[in-house]
Structure 1
Amino acid sequence: MNISTKTAAVASLVFCTATAAFAQDTLPQTLFANVHVFDGVNEARIENASVLVEGNLIKEVSTETIDAPGTTVVDGGGRTLMPGLIDAHVHMAITEPVADLRDNFDWMYWGAVSTIEAEKMLLRGFTSVRDAGGPAMGLQKAIDRGKAIGPRIYPSGPVISQTSGHGEHRHYTEPHPNFEGASPSFFNQHVEFLADGVPEVLRATREALRLGASQIKVMAGGGVSSSVDPLHTVQFLPEELEAAVKAAADWDTYVLVHVYNDESILRSIEAGVQSIDHAQLMTEVSAQAIKDADVWVVPFFSLLGLDAETVSKALGPLAAPKFLEVQGGARNQMRLLKEFGIEKVAFSTDIIGDPAALTKQNDEFKYRLEQWSSYEVLMQATSKAGELLALSGKLNPYPEGPLGVIAKGAYADILLVDGNPVEDALIMTDYENNFDLIMKNGVIYKNTLE
């Protein structure tokens, strides 16, 4: 081979290598054309717009023609393009009755069933969720690594409960997992930690962080699904709650609490808690405290769709009265949140223990419309919930862009909805017929337009 031939060969090799490198660096693009954009923030849709997605982020939103040759084009046909939905209080691993999961199934069953339900949740339009307790870290990793399909998960890890608190699911004669000689079960190790006193609360909080929690979940008041804690109880002493808050803050994240009554809400706020979850038994006293402290409220209202007979049959004589009491406070809670002008309200459903009930996740929109406008409810399920997720600070598992908005640099989590949900959010309940395209992280998982 002469010099000129060698030179040409080297040049060809360099060109091919550079071309291959360029091809690898070039991210796939999808152009949504002929859409009306609800950006998650503004009530007025951006009419006759186009949205360009590059890789897993939104590159451009414009009412002008976007020049992107070679791009995959999706003609929205005048549909509403909006952010993927966010459910701020779910339990991805608790998809069967708690007693069955605790006593009758092993951890592989948990994993298999939760993977199936995760894909169904994504196909209901929920592209991100905040898991409020349970072994969701493994599922999160499987989804993030492309081994499973589902929403992006902000995991809390095992909930932290006092002994005799809402995180208590031991049999009556079962020894305390923290007592000498006792052997913690899978349930105690991955679903709930029992902690009493500041040292144990600190240890439990730090252990949840070690496991990969993006925020901390603490049981600060009585609940329905546990049998040993009446609704009126206030759980954890002020110094115990403060310990969890401070330990979480040292990791640049926050604490969310399970609470219902005023006393629990007030104690949690005074301790520095940032997210008050449920709170259906709140009164004007805690409504004012929430307003003054400027903290988040994460209620759920799908419980309004259950009648007393159904509840009694499903929950039995111990839990049913507690459920009905919580249900009785829900509409008053909605009224208070609206009257006090509390804006930091996020969308959540907290449906656990029943795959059939999970199919009703989108019905939450229907009940919130009793008090809020369609636009307000949509914000709660998009941009506002996205703001709440971002409180996890440096522990945010998805730091590349904001969630819950359609904007340049935001994650490409997108729904194409047949109709205008800003005017009528009730159409969000029929996700099978009205959600024509679902994209998460730049990947299309449902497309009925083809």
Structure 2
Amino acid sequence: MVSTASYHETLKPWKPPARKTFLFTNVNLVDVENGVVHENATIKLSSGRIENIKLHSHANGNADPQSLSDVDIHLDFEGKYLCPGLFDCHVHIIAVPGEKEWQDTKSLNPTSSAYRHAYVCQQMLDRGFTTVRDCGGASLALKQSIEDGLIQGPRLFIAGSFLSQTGGHGDTRGCHDHSNIECCGGGSSNFPSFICDGVPECLRAARENIRTGSDFIKIMGGGGVCSPTDRIDNVQFTSEEICAITTVAKNSQTYVTSHAYTPRSIKQALENGVLGIEHGNLIDRETAELMVQKGAYLTPTLVTYTAMGDESFAGYMPAESMEKNAEVYVAGLQGLKIAADAGVNICYGSDLLGHLGVAQLNEFTIRSQVLPALAILQSATITPAKMMGQDKFLGQVKRGFAADLLVLNANPLEDITVLARPEEHLLTVIKDGRICMSRWRSLDQDVQRQRQYIE
């Protein structure tokens, strides 16, 4: 007779092995809420959670023997830093590497694209991102595959297909393309867009996204860099259309975020119930104060503009996109500073397409030009957790929180750019209590079952 445990192993043979219980001593615990490091901490991880934390006044690598009774691995950190796992609030997993030009990426056969998703997810996790918010493209099937342990990747919150008006940022047709469309960004097979005009179509598109597993809804509320026919300063959708979409989201206990660069497009979104703004490069003080008043969240993505302008990636984006990229690139840092000074809730975002994804961590370095380390680290931990309603589970090293953690050999509160150099400073990535990536000989990866040696 097959045991219950054996039955489940046979039913889903890809399931990872049982989680170990860890006891870490002499930890430098990075407290991202208060901006301090607690030295000589003892931390216990069990069943994918932080079970207990004890703070000590002096170093002590020897744990109480009684506390080791149910511990699989006891490790003296010798002063290494334990930091919450990172949260990137603006990614597009569907924009996979492997194509020379953006046009080829967005026209890629969906099956070919899907086979590359696992690689993209693994790379993000290896960089220290234990959670990401996909702002268009990732499917419920991918999210569930990660949750089930079939694919190694960050925790995933998905928007599904983003919503765009005809001729908006989600419409990929050129000005000489007169074909009619109902979805899919004008026929681009790997571009996840619902084209919807008028309140009834907007209601249907939003409801369809909720039906198919979207955690939030993304709209294109203004012009963008990668679309062929709209201007950056265009305002997209009407107030009535946006209000219809936000009503669907509210009725489904979630929210809407809007792609918007200018004060006009940001204000229209906020005044009609939108709670998130993506990019926001051209924001002014008045609009930033409105964001604070509304309790909205801003996700700048400055690294995408620097990457597009980098000679290493020359030729990937079309000429018309590069012209618009230059328009928003210069204003990006100033917009970030305006928002921060006003007290806006700011999240970390990258928005990198194709092979530009290798620059995902460079956002830390860019933001360090105008923001202090703590503010930047909070934008990649606590703040996005709050935005997603996960602030009692993600974003901090606290008892009862998810064991999503980074082991570092340097203090990110002193120099945030250590996070941008993982090959030098990121020793281990722990997600859900499992060692997913390790450069530290003392902690081996444990997400795969070990084979029994036969010789």
TM class by smaller structure: 0.7 to 0.9
Give 1:411's match in structure 2, choosing from 402, 407, 430: 402
The answer to whether the 8 Å contact 2:131/2:155 transfers is yes
Q: CA deviation at 1:259?
A: 0.4
Aligned pair 1:140/2:132, yes or no? no
1:178 alignment partner in structure 2: 182
- SS of aligned partner of 1:348: coil
- SS of aligned partner of 1:37: strand
Aligned pair 1:127/2:130, yes or no? yes
Q: CA deviation at 1:316?
A: 3.4
Aligned pair 1:301/2:302, yes or no? yes
**Aligned residue type for 2:92:** H
**Aligned residue type for 1:41:** E
Q: Mean alpha-carbon deviation: is it higher for 280-289 or for 68-77?
A: 68-77
**Aligned residue type for 2:359:** K
1:365 alignment partner in structure 2: 364
2:452 alignment partner in structure 1: none
Change (3 A) 1:422 1:308: closer
**Aligned residue type for 1:143:** I
1:23 alignment partner in structure 2: none
Q: CA deviation at 1:176?
A: 2.2
Question: Highest CA radius of gyration, 1 or 2?
Answer: 1
2:383 alignment partner in structure 1: 384
Give 2:327's match in structure 1, choosing from 325, 350, 354: 325
1:88 alignment partner in structure 2: 89
- SS of aligned partner of 2:317: helix
Change (3 A) 1:249 1:95: same
The answer to whether the 8 Å contact 2:109/2:189 transfers is no
1:35 alignment partner in structure 2: 27
- SS of aligned partner of 2:153: coil
The number of residues matched between the two structures is: 412
Aligned pair 1:45/2:37, yes or no? yes
The answer to whether the 8 Å contact 1:124/1:432 transfers is no
Change (3 A) 1:417 1:200: same
Alignment of 1:216-295 (within 5 A): 216-295=217-296
Q: 2: CA distance between counterparts of 1:233 and 1:130?
A: 26
Q: What is the aligned-residue identity percentage?
A: 29
Change (3 A) 1:304 1:315: closer
Q: 2: CA distance between counterparts of 1:184 and 1:282?
A: 30
Change (3 A) 1:184 1:327: closer
The answer to whether the 8 Å contact 1:178/1:194 transfers is yes
The answer to whether the 8 Å contact 1:248/1:255 transfers is yes
Aligned pair 1:424/2:415, yes or no? yes
Aligned pair 1:340/2:342, yes or no? yes
Q: Superposition RMSD on alpha carbons, in Å?
A: 2.5
Q: CA deviation at 1:170?
A: 3.0
- SS of aligned partner of 2:31: coil
The answer to whether the 8 Å contact 1:35/1:81 transfers is yes
The answer to whether the 8 Å contact 1:31/1:52 transfers is yes
Aligned pair 1:449/2:452, yes or no? no
- Per-residue deviation, residues 183-211 of structure 1 (Å, max 9, x unmatched): 985738x7110000011000000101111
2:453 alignment partner in structure 1: none
The answer to whether the 8 Å contact 2:430/2:437 transfers is yes
Query: Structure 2: 5+ residue runs without aligned partners?
Result: 5-17, 57-62, 443-455
- SS of aligned partner of 1:315: coil
Q: CA deviation at 1:317?
A: 2.7
**Aligned residue type for 1:370:** Q
1:209 alignment partner in structure 2: 210
**Which TM-score applies when normalising by structure 2?**
0.85
Q: 1: CA distance between counterparts of 2:49 and 2:149?
A: 17
Change (3 A) 1:309 1:384: closer
Query: Structure 1: 5+ residue runs without aligned partners?
Result: 1-15, 18-25, 392-398
1:394 alignment partner in structure 2: none
- Per-residue deviation, residues 112-137 of structure 1 (Å, max 9, x unmatched): 11211110110000000000001332
2:12 alignment partner in structure 1: none
Q: CA deviation at 1:281?
A: 1.1
The answer to whether the 8 Å contact 1:304/1:367 transfers is no
- Per-residue deviation, residues 375-423 of structure 1 (Å, max 9, x unmatched): 11111111112111227xxxxxxx9x51111111111101001111111
Change (3 A) 1:132 1:307: closer
**Aligned residue type for 2:196:** A
The answer to whether the 8 Å contact 1:166/1:221 transfers is yes
Q: 1: CA distance between counterparts of 2:156 and 2:185?
A: 30
Give 1:187's match in structure 2, choosing from 186, 189, 194: 189
**Aligned residue type for 2:361:** N
Q: 2: CA distance between counterparts of 1:351 and 1:183?
A: 19
The answer to whether the 8 Å contact 1:166/1:222 transfers is yes
Change (3 A) 1:348 1:323: same
**Aligned residue type for 2:221:** A
Q: 2: CA distance between counterparts of 1:165 and 1:406?
A: 42
The answer to whether the 8 Å contact 1:93/1:136 transfers is no
1:22 alignment partner in structure 2: none
Q: CA deviation at 1:322?
A: 0.6
Q: CA deviation at 1:371?
A: 1.3
Q: CA deviation at 1:52?
A: 0.8
Q: CA deviation at 1:300?
A: 1.6
- Per-residue deviation, residues 40-86 of structure 1 (Å, max 9, x unmatched): 31211111101111111111111255624231123222111011000
